[in-house]
């Protein structure tokens, strides 16, 4: 999830663990704990794009990391806040839960998280977008209200618990909505007589009312969307895999790494003599001409006998048009 959301969750968890003893300091250190796992993005400054993608949400989002870092951070916080006299174990408990709930929340997103690192198992429930105001804003309001209540206040604990319960309930609701939308896509495929091997669904940006689906067929990927306000049948657009013409490129080691990252949901396309790797898991950004570009697309170049990748940048105009079309699509068709 985005940084603000993780800060809010971390603050609420810190309050739940130690707020009664240390007051707003629990919110502060909880927010810090909720931020720490995402510091793995600093790897971007020191390595190539593919490696940075592989590292993101890896070790720093694992149970191993939480267990190793919690005592160290607890000891450090106890040194800094020695006047509070709560002991390093209490601080370690706060940091463990602040660190641990971060990857738990990330597991609900499409990118997922390697909670069980070093085992090669990425948890990705694909049920919430990385930025979801309906999750974050009510939670944020609760955390802000907590700031202005005395640490021994019963209402303070109730507000914080309500925020945690409300946000957790939203995650559960998102899973239910995902299940309903999945069935809708499945029914549409059966009605249209489309043979497929796999369906992958995820919410569209900033909401859980509009859902996107990737459908794996023998020769093509089908992409469709469904809003809970739709009255028309679901339709699918076809994207040919064209694996045969990309055989040589797919066999290159760095391209294979991208294939593994995308979990097999990818298209390799050649445009104007240049190869692009498109990760299908995150859907399309609509364009004004009625087409779409993939959210994560990488330009592949050969340098010194190796394939390098660089992410294709999105423009502000793309974002503005996305927001406009997204709202129109959520309202149904």
The predicted-structure confidence for 255-271, as pLDDT tens digits, reads as follows 999 999 999 999 999 98
Q: Is the pLDDT of residue 206 over 70?
A: yes
Is pLDDT at 318 greater than 80 in this prediction?
A: no
Q: Which pLDDT tens digit goes with each residue over 119-167?
A: 988 899 999 999 999 999 999 999 999 999 999 999 999 999 999 999 9
Residue range 24-56, pLDDT digits in tens: 999 999 999 999 999 998 888 888 999 999 888
Same-domain pairing of 8 and 149: yes
Q: Other CB atoms closer than 10 Å to residue 291's CB: what's the count?
A: 10
Average pLDDT, the chain: 93
Please report the pLDDT score of residue 18 as a whole number: 97
What's the sign of the alpha-carbon dihedral 166, 101, 12, 142? negative
For the chain, what's the residue count? 333
Residues 299 and 150 in one domain: no
Q: How far is CA 53 from CA 56, 100, 262, 326, in A?
A: 5, 21, 10, 27
Q: What is the pLDDT of residues 280-312, one digit of tens each?
A: 999 888 777 667 788 899 999 988 889 999 999
Q: Give 157-179 pLDDT, tens digit per residue.
A: 999 999 999 999 999 999 999 99
In this structure, are 163 and 36 located in the same domain?
yes
Q: Which of 146, 174, 202 is the last residue of a domain?
A: 174
Whether 139 and 264 share a structural domain? no
pLDDT at residue 290, rounded to an integer: 67
* pLDDT tier for residue 210 given thresholds of 50, 70 and 90: very high
153 found inside a domain? yes
Domain that holds residue 289: 246-333
More confident residue, 225 or 44: 225
Question: Which of 144, 159, 174 is where one domain is finished?
Answer: 174
- Kindly state the average pLDDT of the residues 83-98: 96
Q: Are residues 170 and 250 in the same domain?
A: no
Q: In terms of domains, do 158 and 14 share one?
A: yes
Please check whether residue 83 lies inside any domain of the structure: yes
């Amino acid at each position: 999830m985005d940084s603000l959301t993780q800060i809010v969750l971390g603050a609420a968890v810190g309050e739940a663990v130690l707020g009664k003893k240390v007051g707003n300091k629990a919110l502060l250190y909880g927010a810090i704990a909720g931020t720490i796992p995402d510091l793995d993005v600093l790897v971007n400054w020191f390595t190539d794009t593919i490696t940075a993608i592989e590292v993101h949400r890896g070790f720093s989002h694992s149970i191993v990391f939480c267990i190793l870092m919690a005592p160290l951070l607890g000891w450090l916080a106890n040194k800094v806040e020695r006047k509070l006299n709560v002991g390093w174990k209490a601080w370690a408990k706060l940091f463990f839960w602040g660190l641990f709930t971060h990857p738990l929340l990330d597991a609900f997103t499409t990118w997922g998280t390697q909670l069980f690192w070093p085992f090669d198992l990425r948890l990705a429930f694909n049920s919430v977008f990385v930025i979801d105001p309906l999750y974050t804003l009510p939670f944020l309001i609760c955390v802000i209200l907590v700031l202005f209540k005395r640490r021994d206040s019963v209402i303070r604990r109730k507000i914080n618990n309500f925020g945690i319960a409300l946000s957790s309930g939203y995650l559960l609701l998102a899973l239910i909505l995902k299940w309903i939308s999945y069935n809708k896509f499945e029914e549409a495929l059966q009605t249209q007589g489309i043979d497929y091997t796999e369906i992958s669904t995820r919410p569209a940006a900033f909401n859980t009312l509009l859902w996107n689906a990737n459908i794996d067929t023998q020769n093509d990927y089908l992409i469709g969307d469904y809003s809970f306000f739709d009255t028309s049948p679901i339709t699918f657009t076809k994207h040919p895999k064209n694996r045969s013409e990309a055989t040589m490129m797919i066999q290159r080691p760095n391209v294979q790494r991208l294939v593994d990252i995308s979990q097999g949901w990818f298209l390799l396309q050649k445009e104007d003599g240049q190869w692009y790797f498109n990760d299908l898991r995150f859907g399309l950004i609509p364009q004004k001409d009625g087409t779409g570009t993939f959210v994560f697309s990488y330009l592949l170049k050969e340098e010194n006998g190796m394939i390098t990748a660089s992410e294709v940048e999105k423009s502000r105009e793309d974002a503005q048009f996305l927001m406009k079309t997204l709202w129109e699509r959520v309202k149904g068709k």
